[in-house]
Amino acid sequence: MRQIDLAQEMRGGNRISSGRQAVLALRLAVPAILAQLTNIVMEYIDAAMVGQLGARASASIGLVASTTWLVGGLASAAVHGFSVQVAHAVGAGDGERSRSVLRQAITANLIFSVILAVICVLLSGPLPALLGAEKAIQKDASMYLRIYSFFLPVLSVQFLMAQMLQCSGDMKTPGMVSVLECALNVVFNYLLIFPSHTVKLGKMTLHVPGAGLGVAGAALGTVLSITAAGIILTIATLFHARILALFPPGGRFPEDSETRRPARWIPESSTLRKALRIALPIAGENTALSFAQVISTRIVAPLGSVAIAANSFAVTAEAFCYMPGYGIGMAATTMVGQAYGAGRKDLAKSFAWMTTALGMILMAVSGVLMYFLCPYVFHFLTPDAQVQMLGVRVLRIELLAEPLFAASIVGSGALRGAGDTLVPALISLISIWGIRIVMASFLISSLGLSGVWIAMVCDLSVRGILFLIRLARGRWLKNTA
């Protein structure tokens, strides 16, 4: 589907049937889902490579994983503050406004990400000890977080360009680049994690160079692949995107006129206010979720390296299940955002329900598949039998919540498209802190790691129900962001 077709179809004022809505949702979501699938497969391979170094290496990365999610979530929230405005402008047919928001977003996000990077680098040293990790894994954990933090501005640019393309209706380009990024991540990891060695292919013996950097190599492999993806997405957005290109071929925009206002790179107060209104609740939500993961890691850490590694691998394995949800959620943000910008609130509500139902069905199916496949997944991820057994046990507990987890993921994406971010943030904040953290703190003493994952199931189920109630009431359609 071409970028402009959806917006034109909605602005035409014609009724769009349920079947047509489902087709539009799938055409937007499938590239995002395939990109997510590729990401998950490569994450499995990535985790398996680190897993070959032993439980301590896996635990050192697992320890700071929640922290990297936190800072990544903050960078993503800043991006959403501007990308939702682009979706509204595209829906309204205002290409000039779309490009103006993009220029301002580049400046604002670079400033924010540099500040965030400095803070994270300073915290990378003492953080593992503060999380209660055993001394044997603290050095590697600090190194991984420090390397990741240095590249946060690059990560922010990658987020920004991908989100801008997606909200303009182009899911294909970010999806293809995501596949390339994951492939590069595997190659870089292979060369940087392990030392030089020989590989036998039949009668041939090949010498494979390697840096032998271990956990630091895994971090470098990740940030180098992110850098490559960021460069490609920046070129695609600024020079070739049909609506968003700031430097289009021939120097002409699709709707060239004599009254074009001057290009501004400094954020305007009105744009910045709207961005903050959208982004601050998302940042709060991401902070609440990620910081809760940090606290969960702190709760799990005293159980030892086996529990930390099992917890980390279970989170990685579960990604296969929620991968369809995040793909559909991206499509929901685009569809609802463009419908809202076109003044079709009836269609925005219909899109929200269509995508949420689709996400719940797909994640229910993926959860059933993972229930039977997870022993084989953990065998692939780690050779440690103790980690395998514990990981399978806790993951199977969480799989019960997949359909309602989908309701929260896709529902949040749909609400975000209309600029409704405050109430979803409050829902997530109350649920994760009032249910997951409290229950985990009580259950871990008697049930160990299983107690932490039982608490997670309760949190995800309640959160999903609350998002369905929010969608049903329809007050989010009155938002003015």
Which region among 9-18, 165-174, 323-332, 338-347 has the lowest average model confidence (pLDDT)?
9-18
Instruction: Return the closest-CA partner of residue 34 out of 156, 205, 177, 243.
Output: 177
Angle at 213 between CA 209 and CA 214, to 5 degrees: 110
Top-confidence residue, 467 or 384? 467
Residue 2: the pLDDT is 45
Please give the average per-residue pLDDT across 277-302, as a whole number: 82
- What are residue 215's phi and psi, to 5 degrees? -60, -40
For tokens 């490559």, name the residue: 228
Q: Which residues pair with 200 in a beta bridge?
A: 205
> Residue 263 above 80 pLDDT?
no
Mean per-residue pLDDT of the chain? 85
Residue 259: the pLDDT is 44
Q: Does residue 353 contact residue 413 with C-beta atoms inside 8 Å?
A: no
CA–CA gap between residue 400 and residue 368 (Å, rounded): 9
CA–CA gap between residue 426 and residue 434 (Å, rounded): 11
* Residue 91 banded pLDDT, cuts 50, 70, 90: confident
Q: Does residue 217 contact residue 211 with C-beta atoms inside 8 Å?
A: yes
Query: What tens digit of pLDDT does each residue of 171-217 get?
Result: 889 888 988 988 898 899 889 988 887 877 777 788 888 888 888 99
Residue 448: the pLDDT is 92
Residue 113: the pLDDT is 94
Which region among 47-51, 98-102, 215-219, 471-475 has the lowest average model confidence (pLDDT)?
47-51
Share of residues in the chain with pLDDT > 90 (%)? 40
> Residue 407 above 90 pLDDT?
yes
Residue 323: the pLDDT is 82
Query: What tens digit of pLDDT does each residue of 331-378 get?
Result: 898 889 988 888 888 888 988 998 999 999 999 999 999 999 999 989
9-19 CB burial, b ≥16 within 10 A, e <16: bbbeeeebeee
Q: Does residue 196 contact residue 209 with C-beta atoms inside 8 Å?
A: yes
User: What's the one-letter identity of residue 24?
Assistant: L
Top-confidence residue, 64 or 112? 112
Top-confidence residue, 34 or 43? 34
Q: Name the pTM for this structure.
A: 0.79
Residue 4: the pLDDT is 42
Residue 261: the pLDDT is 56
